[in-house]
Every structure is written in structure tokens, then in C-alpha cells.
Structure 1
Amino acid sequence: MAIRVLVVDDSSFFRRRVSEILNRDPLLTVVDTAANGQEAVEKARLLRPDVITMDIEMPVMDGISAVRAIMKATPTPVLMFSSLTHDGARATLDALDAGAMDFLPKRFEDIARSKEEAILLLQQRVKAISRRRAVAAPVSRSSTIGAASAAARVRPTLASTPAGRGFAAATPVVAEPVVERRSLPRRSGKHYQLLAIGTSTGGPVALQKVLTRLPANFPHPIVLIQHMPGTFTSAFAARLDGLCQIRVKEAEDGDQLRPGHAYLAPGGKQMLFEGRAGNARLRVIDGNDKVNYKPCVDITFASAAKIYGGNVLAVVLTGMGADGREGARLLKEQGASIWAQDEESCVVYGMPQAVAKAGIATESLPLSLIGDAINNEIGG
């Protein structure tokens, strides 16, 4: 049965364009369109589509308000279309907080090197998020901030994506069902010097849930690799910094790694390490344009293996494709610990599945446990 899609945008041209692209795939069918958020809420209730594509700026009701209303009344996977600007980034992050599952730039030339690649990517994204039913409206960002602010926080002073880069494009494979683990894994007693987390589709919300569990006195530096365009990563780092007890910043070339600080790889760049463990610095470079992802989890993980050896806890969260598998393999060969998010809690079980199926992951954990499991393992 075809995946039923509701297309929402105030531009009749864009509605028609998206509808034509989706209808080209025999597994997708556009059941209707809406010109504003209020229409989207009403048609979501009447038509019960499998997926909704949603613009942000619209008359009558904007896309963020529409996502909130839909998640409250008829939870449905939503793919947002966003402009690649700082304001567009902030609005997109608000939409993800409201319950949207994923986003793509509204200008198709920003997401692919060719028209056909852009068409395939949009079709793949819609199919990927259709596999995950939205189940409830999330906690609002304001209440999350309030909870984070209520905790005592001692915070020390902290000293454009190329076309097609930074967006995972591989189709996820269907995995065997798994039973959700409901207890923390036994502490291994390993010595660590670095926490490294890689993710893609669904990552912004997943990272927020994990990082807000870490205390301000977390004993090691943290590096974050999220597939995201360059105009988004600074806004995303600032948002995480406001929510978390640890410090979070967009990584810069030459940053010295400090305990209790998380460094988000800039979109459109690659993040590496130089120096020695315990006194390492970050290198942020343009990297090879032939690499599919900028930033790339494999590249950062591989660099960590050279500098930190086995003293790394690497976690692979939700995302399309297999980025992170080969880097995790190199870390595992050095004796590092590799964890993967489990299937049931992923938006897309692609990257974690690639690590788990290769026999690299030692733990497969639900998202709700990962932050506490990190604290238990590392002893923050």
C-alpha cells in the first residue's frame, strides 16, 4: 500500500512541485494539499495521512503551531521545509521541538548535486519517517528550559554546506524487532578520556535528550557529529548550551578539549583531533568534497581512534545510512566501547543498525536510558 502524504505550503507552485516529485515514486501518493497550518490541522484529522510535509512560514497558522496542534490531536510524522538561514535554523529547531521528525532545505539545489539526486532524497526522507508513527506531543521547549534552569548549574567560562553535503541519503534497511532494555548496563570499569556521539535524522531531539542528562562536572570532553547544514549548527549549539548543564559550542579550529564541554562539528566541515590524549585540540577543515557527509561521523571517529585509542565511549544515535560504522570499527579495534541506540526509539534505524549488525556495538540502548547509562559508565 502506498504511503499517503499531505503536502502543506502557502505557495501553490511549491505544493505542485512537491506533489509531482512524490507522486513519481510508486510507493508514495499525495492525498491532498493545504495552503496554511489551519488547513493542515483539519486535513490531518480528516484524512489521517502517513506523512505530512510542512512549510514554516504561512498565513493563518504557521508551520510550528500546526505541528504542535497535529501532534496533540492526530500525531503524524512531519517533514519540515526550511530556509538555510540563521532564522530558518531557529524556526526549524522549534519545529523539531514541537514534534516534527526531520527537515530539508526548501531550495532543492541546496540538498543535492543534481535534480535527480534531490528528487530521490526527498522521496527517501518521506519513506524513512513514515516507518515511525508519531505517538504523542513532546514536552515544550519552554518547560524543558525551565526544568534545566531549576537544576543547580556551575558553569565555567568558555574560552555554508556544499550541495548535497550533510544530509544522509541512504535508504534505511528494515531490522529485526528488538526488546527494549529497561535497566542500565553494568558498568565496565574502563578508563575513558572522550565521549563521542554521532547522529543524523532525528538527531537534534535525540542529542537534547541525552545531553540534558549529563552533569556540569562531566569528567571528559564530548564531541558531537550531527548531519546538519552549516547555517544550522551554530544555532543548534546555542540551543543545546541553553538547555544543558554542560557547556555546548560549535567547534572551531584550534579549540582545546576541556572536561564538561561539548563541541558540535560545524556543518559543511570535517572535525579532527591533533596532539595527544589529555591535551588534544580540534582541527576543523573543509575536507574532501568526495565524502558524502560534512560533517562525517566516520572521519571524526577514525581521528579519535588515532589520538585516544581505546579510551573512548562512542555512541551512534538515530540516522539514515551507515555513517559511523567504519569509524566505530577502528575505535573498537583499539579497545573503545561502542553503543548504539535501539531500533524502537530511533526515528530512523539506519546508522545504529549498521553498527549493531556489524557486531561492533557492545550495547543497544533505548534513547531514554542513554544519558543515564553514560553517567553510570563514565562516573560523571
Structure 2
Amino acid sequence: MKSIQVLVVDDSAVVRQVLTALIDATPGMEVMHAAADPLLAMERMRRQWPDVIVLDVEMPRMDGITFLRKIMTERPTPVVICSTLTEQGAKTTLEALAAGAVAIVTKPKLGLKQFLTDAADDLVTTVREAARANVRRLAPRREAAPLQPVAKLTADAILPPGAGRAMTQTTERVVAIGTSTGGTQALEEVLTALPRVCPGIVIVQHMPEKFTAAFASRLDSVCRIAVKEAEHNDRVLPGRALIAPGGKHMVLRRSGAQYHVDVVDGPLVNRHRPSVDVLFRSVAKCAGANAVGIIMTGMGDDGAAGLLEMHNAGARTVAQDEDSCVVFGMPKEAIKRGGVDKTVTLSAIWREIGA
């Protein structure tokens, strides 16, 4: 079986050295070249085209976003952004996701070599999954989570499962959305299609801390509905979407006939924080048949168990179809477990929110 050919583009010699060693030590993949900037990378790509590119953003001679846009226009290729996690860098990295990057690997400014070594398993998994991504779904439009090797916990680590169906219906409805790889572009397509008047929406998009505020702000600027990064005790209101902050879990809470969100600490669930399973479980417990659950493009299985809990609690459940997903992992697992009532294409999801 042909190995996955990886091109590393980063101006840091340490990053190039460590990533090359980690990838070359992984069966089934190898680094075909490690370049200090995009111009050197393009010279190599004229001779051999990679299966996956691991790309820094801030580099000399040509920045990573310009290089990414050029690649996605000329020959769409899976790109994993390997970027330093900073407030300033968050908006730039979001531009990269909007331009067609598959995933984010965050690297610290200090202790870089040790971090990359500690995160080796998750890093190579991200590269392997990126190689399978449907990158043609990531064509540039209008314009992933810190990697930690940990045990895979379930939503039990944050809140216990519900004892049965939630309380009776109210006039307020809640739409819960979970997504990961490819979700930044997919969410933009869904949310920009919504009218000003629609049910309140709660969202988990797998994304590192500091990135979600910039992501929510960008969506708010292009949507008719209001979009914001969730804060503790925010009320779920019609015409507003709340996005779980990176590095925190978000759970739904009911107070009388109203719904609020709590932003809470806790361990990674399904190796993510925020976790879709945690949000979906809380929605199943608090909203039941008042809710709609939607699972969209993403790697892994986070959200599959939670969507089944929502389904069993009387919620209407929807999955994005395979053809329109960048990665079909999360919807596929939800369908396999029997938690999905209906499968629709990405362009039809907004209609399910108001149905």
C-alpha cells in the first residue's frame, strides 16, 4: 500500500526536524520534503505533489495563507495548519480554514519540541485523516483542537445521563449543532442561509481556545442572525447562535420555560473540549422533544452517542450526508448507532433548523 507523502512547510528548523522524525517513524506515511518557505515548497512540488501539506502561517517570502489559496485554486490538496496559538494569530488561522485548510494543529511558543513529541499520536492521526478528506468541499469561500494524548472519556465525565424523557414541550425550541473538520465553512454556509427569525441555536465546533471568539465574530459579521461565543448563563434566544468557547464544555440548562447555557471546565471528552457529546446530552436532558440535533462533517465519533440520547429523548435528529462532508466520520458513526432520523445535504440543513 502506497505511503502518505507529506510536505512540511515551516520556517522553524526545529519544527521541520521534529515533524519529519515523527511522520517518518509512523508506518504508512513519510515526509517527501521539508521546506523553509512556500517558494521552496513550490519548487519541490513541481517534481512531486504531496498527499498532505503541513503548513505554518507566518513565514518569509510568502505567507501560508497566500500559498494555501494558490494550492486550493490550482490543485486542491489536504492542508493541516500548524500554527502558534496566539490571540492575534487566531484570526489569521481562521482565514486559513476559510481558504480551505482541513485542520488546525496548535503549537506553543515555548517548549515546542517537547509539545510536538508529546502530541505525536494525535498529530499523525490528524495527518492521516486529512489524507482522506474530501478537499473539493473546501474550495475557498468569501473570504481542530489542541492535540493532547489522553484517554478517551465519555460525557459521563461532565454530567450523568438523563433518567428518561425531558419535561413537556414549551414554546421555545433549541437547535443543537455539532461539527469538526470542515465545520468552519459548513457552519458559515448553514448560518448565512438562516432568516433573522429562527430558533435559538447552540453549537460545538471543535476548535482551540482563543479561536472561537474570532470565529463567532466573523460569522456574526456575515449572518442575519446574531452569533457570539457563549458566556456562562447566556440565554438561548430566537435568532441567535451561541458557539461553545474553545477549551470549555458548554451545557444547556432549563430555567422555567427558558433555556440558558453554562460554560464549564472538565476533562477532554472523546479527546475534545468542547465536546459535542456533552452538549447533546445536556440538550437531551433539558429540552427533549423541544430540540433538534444536527451532526455535521468531522473526524471521529464525538456527538454520535449524544445524538442517540437526543433521539431517544424525543428530539428530531439530522445528519449531513457523505457527499457534502469534508470528513464523514461523525455523521457516519451517528447513523451507524441509530440516532439519526434524516440525512440531508449541507445546502438543505438550514431548512431543518426552521422546520
Do Structure 1 and Structure 2 share a fold, with TM-score over 0.5? Answer: yes
Amino acid at match of 1:202: G
State how far apart, in whole Å, the 2-side matches of 1:29 and 1:6 are.
9
Aligned to 2:166: none
1:131 CA drift (Å): 0.8
SS, match of residue 47 in structure 2: helix
Provide the residue aligned with 1:62 in structure 2. 63
How far does residue 162 in structure 1 lie from its aligned partner after superposition? 8.1
Q: Cα offset for 1:43? A: 3.0
Structure 1 residues 58-109: Cα deviation after superposition (integer angstroms, max 9, x where no partner) = 0110000000111112221100011111121111110111111111102399
Asked whether 1:286 is paired with 2:265, we answer: yes
Tell me how far 1:316 sits from its aligned partner.
0.6
Letter aligned with residue 76 of structure 1: T
Q: Do residues 203 (structure 1) and 183 (structure 2) align?
A: yes
Q: Which residue of 1 aligns with 2:293?
A: 314
Q: Which amino acid in structure 1 is aligned with residue 303 of structure 2?
A: G
Q: Which residue of 1 aligns with 2:174?
A: 194
Question: What's 1:134 paired with?
Answer: 135
* Contact 1:77 1:132 survives alignment (8 Å): yes
Count residues in correspondence: 334
Name the aligned partner's letter for residue 122 of structure 2.
L
Structure-1 separation of matches of 2:315 and 2:339? 10
Distance 1:73 1:136, change over 3 A: farther
What amino acid does structure 1 have at the position aligned with 2:181? T
Structure 1 residue 117, shift from structure 2 partner: 5.2
Q: Is the 8 A contact 1:71 1:136 kept in 2?
A: no
- CA distance in structure 1 between the partners assigned to 2:221 and 2:262 by the alignment: 25
Answer whether contact 1:45 1:74 (CA < 8 A) is retained: no
Secondary structure at 1:331 match in 2: helix
Shift of 1:114: 7.6
* Matched residue SS, 1:273: strand
Q: CA deviation at 1:15?
A: 1.0
Q: How does 1:1-380 map to 2 (within 5 A)?
A: 1-107=2-108, 118-135=119-136, 138-142=139-143, 164=148, 193-218=173-198, 220-276=199-255, 278-288=257-267, 292-371=271-350, 373-374=351-352, 378-379=354-355
Amino acid at match of 1:306: K
Distance (whole Å) between structure 2 residues aligned to residue 345 and residue 320 of structure 1 = 14
Q: Secondary structure at 1:353's aligned position in 2?
A: helix
Residue in 2 aligned with 1:173? none
Do 1:48 and 1:74's aligned partners in 2 also have CA atoms closer than 8 Å? no
* 333 and 109 in structure 1: CA distance in 2 versus 1, 3 angstrom threshold: farther
* 1:275 CA drift (Å): 2.5
Comparing 131-140 with 301-310, greater Cα deviation is found at 131-140
Deviation for aligned residue 1:127 = 0.7
TM superposition shift of 1:137? 7.2
Retained in 1: the 8 A contact 2:76–2:139? no
| Letter matched to residue 129 of structure 2 | A
**3-state SS of paired residue (1:359):** coil
Q: Which runs of 5+ in 1 are unaligned?
A: 143-160, 170-190
Residue aligned with 1:249, SS: strand
Q: 51-60 or 283-292, which moves further after superposition?
A: 283-292
Paired with 1:123 and 1:75, the residues of 2 have a C-alpha distance of 21
Given that 2:269 and 2:275 are in contact with CA atoms closer than 8 Å, whether structure 1 keeps it comes out as no
Q: Tell me the amino acid that sits aligned with residue 87 of structure 1.
A: Q
- Aligned residues with identical type, % of pairs: 41
Alignment TM-score, normalising by the size of structure 1 = 0.81
Q: Distance in 1 between matches of 2:107 and 2:316?
A: 38
* C-alpha deviation, 1:270, in angstroms: 1.4
Q: Is the 8 A contact 1:37 1:65 kept in 2?
A: no
AA aligned opposite 2:47: L
Q: Measured at CA, do residues 290 and 103 of structure 1 come closer, stay the same or move farther in structure 2, by a change above 3 Å?
A: closer
What CA distance in whole angstroms lies between the structure 2 residues aligned with 1:51 and 1:343? 21
Which whole-Å CA distance do the structure 1 matches of 2:268 and 2:276 have between them? 15
Counterparts in 2 of 1:134 and 1:257: CA distance versus 1, 3 Å = closer
Task: Report how far residue 369 of structure 1 moved.
Answer: 2.6
Distance 1:96 1:115, change over 3 A: closer
Task: Tell me if structure 2 keeps the 8 A contact 1:202–1:346.
Answer: yes
Q: Are the equivalent residues in 1 in contact too, given 2:134–2:326 (CA < 8 A)?
A: no
Query: Under a length normalisation based on structure 2, what TM-score does the superposition of the two structures give?
Result: 0.86
